[in-house]
Amino acid sequence: MIGHGFMGAAHSQGWRVAPRFFDLARQPVLQVVVGRNAAATAAAADKWGWEESATDWRDVLTRDDIDVVDIVTPGDTHAEIALAALAAGKHVLCEKPLANTVAEAEAMADAAARAADRGIRSMVGFTYRRVPAAAFARDLVAAGRLGVIRQVRAEYLQDWLIDPESPMTWRLDKELAGSGALGDIGAHAVDLTEFITGQRVESVSGIIETLVSERPVLAEGVGLSGTAGTERGTVTVDDVALFTGRLSSGALASFEATRFRTGRKNALRIEISGSRGALAFDLERLNELEFYDATAADTELGFRRILVTEHDHPYVGPWWPTGHMLGYEHGFSHQASDFVAAIAAGEQPRPSFADGLHVQRVLAAVERSSDTGSAWVPTAP
């Protein structure tokens, strides 16, 4: 695993727990974690159960005892690491968004396609697909329970940047992050919409905005809770993204991605309306799904709450007795399980690098629409 921050912890948990609950065809070994700071990386290895640590990912790629490379670094390094790992014959799991630019994502998708001919697999970490309620929502749509999809509303709402004195982080630097709320969390809203509906976003019209353009810079080695100095850094990414999309069926979708929605901590929400019914999901209530059956008698109409904890629900069977809740970290175990299963079966795991490239094109189209004022920008090349 290359990187060991927030996502490194989540991925480590997923790799550690998956083989203890799921019957995996191959057993993951947490062999080596890689980071720039030797002491910090060694501490992460000890904390999360990796057998060793290293500071040069290039050296690790030459090792015969490494089969899988898991990339959890900032976006500016995704392409370089993934391309080298695929060339070295390693299976690759890469965090979202796939890259910082469409050109990088195209190179990664092309390399992944060539590697697949040699039996080398790759996948993008859009983990929310693997929340049981989200996967069950897809099952309901695929079964025709909503009829013809007419309208979608998807939003990812956070508020961790509402204080203008919150310090600079790498997520606020376009060179490192690629984009702000649009790529960081808007990518999830796009992917989850496409995953549940089974349709693609084919054109977009939108606007992105930076609400706070300067923030204090922390002294080197000071954590985010520390005291910032007098130096100010320039925010070079968006804080808010609002856009409309047209799906491949012609249905309209509205999207919002913001890190300025006061009071919302991690609210990834999606509501899908169809001719026969509707459903709604909120990540802050991730064990629940709201379902509306428009074919019911007038006296029985209304959204009803489905508790997605039955053993017949997606992913739930290996876990706890019915009614015992799952949490954020479980999606990473589901991700690890699905990735290992695809490798063992010689199949393409989803979402693929090609899927990640498509989402990258959607993000780029939103930026073009905002920059040029264009009413509709296609997402196809």
The model's pLDDT over 334-378, given as tens digits with 9 standing for 90+, comes to: 999 999 999 999 999 999 999 999 999 999 999 999 999 988 999
Distance of CA 173 to the CA centre of its chain: 19
Q: Please give the full DSSP string across 180-219, using - where no structure is assigned.
A: SHIIIIIHHHHHHHHHHH---EEEEEEEEE-S--EEE-PP
For position 22, which CATH number holds? 3.40.50.720
Torsion from C-alpha of 371, 373, 376, 377, nearest 10 degrees = -20
Please tell me what DSSP assigns to residue 371: H
Q: Is 144 exposed, middle or buried (0-12, 13-18, 19+ CB in 10 A)?
A: exposed
CATH number of the structural domain spanning residue 151: 3.30.360.10
Distance of alpha carbon 342 from alpha carbon 325, whole angstroms: 27
* Band of residue 221 on the pLDDT scale cut at 50, 70, 90: low
Q: 143 and 114, same structural domain? A: no
> In whole angstroms, how far apart are CA 301 and each of 28, 152, 277, 294, 298?
48, 20, 10, 7, 5
364 and 237 assigned to the same domain: yes
Q: Please give the pLDDT value at position 345.
A: 97
On whether both 116 and 138 belong to a single domain, the answer is no
Asked, for residue 224, whether it belongs to a domain, the answer is: yes
Rg of the chain's alpha carbons, rounded to an integer?
A: 21
Q: Does residue 302 belong to any structural domain of this protein?
A: yes
Question: What confidence tier does 312 reach under pLDDT thresholds 50, 70, 90?
Answer: very high
* Residues 146 and 98 grouped into a single domain: no
Residue 187 confidence (pLDDT) above 90: yes
104 and 42, same domain (yes or no) = yes
Residues 1-16: tens digit of each pLDDT: 999 999 999 999 999 9
The Cα–Cα gap between 270 and 155 comes to 6
Residue 10 shares a structural domain with residue 101:
yes
Predicted confidence (pLDDT) per residue in 116-125, tens digit = 999 999 999 9
Q: How far apart, in Å, are the Cα atoms of 349 and each of 73, 123, 175?
A: 21, 6, 29
Q: Which of 99, 128, 157 is the last residue of a domain?
A: 128
On whether both 38 and 123 belong to a single domain, the answer is yes
